[in-house]
Chain A
Amino acid sequence: MNQILDTVFKVVGFFMTLLGLVVLGALITDVFMDGLPRVSWDFMTSFPSRRAGKAGIYAAWVGTVWIAILTAFFAFPVGVAAATYLEEYARKNWLTDLIEINIANLAGVPSIIYGLLGLGIFVRWMDLDRSILAGGMTLALLVLPVVILSSREALRTIPASIREASYALGASKWQTIRSQVLPAAMPGILTGSILAMSRAIGETAPLIIVGALTYVSFLPTSPFSAEFPFLNAEGLFDPFSVLPIQIFNWVSRPQQAFAINAAAGIIVLLLITFVMNGIAVFLRHRFQKKIRW
């Protein structure tokens, strides 16, 4: 009897797995059949247009890259620092327990709430207007809990024996953390952070709330300039759009040609996410190969 149940469960499990894969496969196939012919150099380097055939995603993908970089720039240092404090320095008491529970809860808060928070703090109160900076900081808030949680997880996997070895040589706590614990945990921290980032670049709702545009026919000011000091931050304050918003905009139009544009945009977005996940997998793999405790 137990054996029959076992077999039944195995078969059911197999078909459930298959179901998930088939649905995903069908979706991707459908998108690729619609969109792939449309993906071209022109499509990547054209601004949006009223005519579907001339429209492209230049502003959108550049905006996505900007936002991704800014989100990482804000979320990564803050998240890793917070995780290091909580894991290595904070005393374990009811307050840290409370903080821990709240961070876990924050990771589950709907993204649109973060959009409202960004609108209130960055756009209105800090007066950043509908800028890339406001968008990047809002998404940084969104991924921060996930970065903190995965960084803590990575720090926790570093065995006590490594810390002891460092202390026994006369290292201070900070030297131990900086020179031994963080470098050993870094691949794990990066893996978690990149996965959080790839979630962020698919977000639409919070960016619509902080005022990302749906029709942008210019690029943000380039951060590189011809004169000294060759770098500038003016682009940070420019309005922007991102891929998911561009896609959303096209999908909501009645013309079939725009639906094809949307499919092509989805392919590009999928590729960016895919590359980011690939980097995370690569890092994890290297981590496991290089470090055996």
Chain B
Amino acid sequence: MNIAFKVENLNVFYGEKQALNTINVEIPEKAVTAIIGPSGCGKSTFLRCLNRMNELLPIFRMEGAIIYEEQNIYSKQVDVIDVRRRIGMVFQKPNPFPKSIYENVAYGLRIQGIKKRGRIDEIVEESLKKAAIWDEVKDRLSHSALALSGGQQQRLCIARALAVEPEVLLLDEPTSAIDPIATARIEELLRELEKTYTIVMVTHNMQQAARISAWTAYFLMGELIEFDDTTKIFTNPKDKRTEDYITGRFG
């Protein structure tokens, strides 16, 4: 098993409040890692550390290191724009741009300076196919993305993230705002994408974590309680607190 991210002594603060406390973990590559835990436990904060999205908040402060491809992504030599391109992200609420379906996917390419129409067409089609939404939208690429259903919007957001050819996909509760059928489609899609991408997914839904992830991390009040093989976490957790959570005794 190869390691994608090596997180070392990560502490995160929002102003005075500490959101994450001394996290040490190694996230394997080309597999789905699920992050579970009750609300406010620091799941999303942790996820957003992995592509430096937290820095958009002025009160954010961190200590420690996150090593990706043998480099601390927080070191001064690293270009944050490059980090975010290589480590893509899909958000909780589908957030397509108020533009056409085509432009949503093409945007990531345009900002990289790709201008050739044919090349962009090609990648747009390829990305929409990878996100399993091509057949539904191929006849209306010029229509507004906001006219799509929630589930379709979320798959479009995945296509948009894939278009810039990232190596990692971070998903922040990607199915919490959409219906069960659309959720099933996205889970199916993630199982497919797992073969080529490292996927880290925050989820509120323990069944979902059990269904699709190979690895699971359990967070509680800013601490990483347990990280292990998903099957082990759900059948034979080492920590009493993990057991309480997955058996539904609280949370």
Contact = CB atoms under 8 A, between A and B. Distances in A.
Contacts of B99: 183
Interface string B142-154: 0010100000000
Contacts of A166: 97, 107
Nearest to B55: A167
Contacts of A161: 91, 93, 95
Contact of B111 (A159, A163, A170, A292): A170
Contact of B88 (A92, A168, A172, A184): A168
Interface string B49-80: 00101001010000000000000000000000
A169 B89 CA distance: 8
Contact of A184 (B91, B98, B157, B161): B98
A92 B57 CA distance: 12
A164 B91 contact: yes
A169 B165 CA distance: 10
A291 interface: yes
A290 B98 CA distance: 8
Contacts of B95: 159, 161-162, 164-165
A277 interface: no
A159 B146 CA distance: 14
Contacts of B98: 162, 184, 290-291, 293
Interface majority SS (helix, strand, loop, mixed), chain A? helix
B100 to A, nearest CB: 11
Interface residues of B, number: 29
Given A170-B86, A171-B107, A172-B81, 16 more contacts: A92-B58, A163-B56, A165-B97, A165-B157, A167-B53, A167-B56, A168-B51, A168-B53, A168-B84, A168-B88, A169-B108, A170-B164, A171-B81, A179-B111, A290-B144, A290-B146
20 contacts: A92-B58, A162-B97, A162-B98, A164-B95, A167-B84, A168-B51, A168-B161, A169-B84, A169-B85, A169-B108, A169-B111, A170-B82, A170-B86, A170-B111, A170-B112, A170-B164, A171-B81, A171-B108, A171-B111, A183-B99
What are the 7 tightest A-B residue pairs by CB atom distance, in nearest-first order? A170-B85, A161-B95, A168-B89, A169-B108, A291-B98, A170-B84, A165-B95
Interface of A: 91-92, 159, 161-172, 175, 179-180, 183-184, 290-293
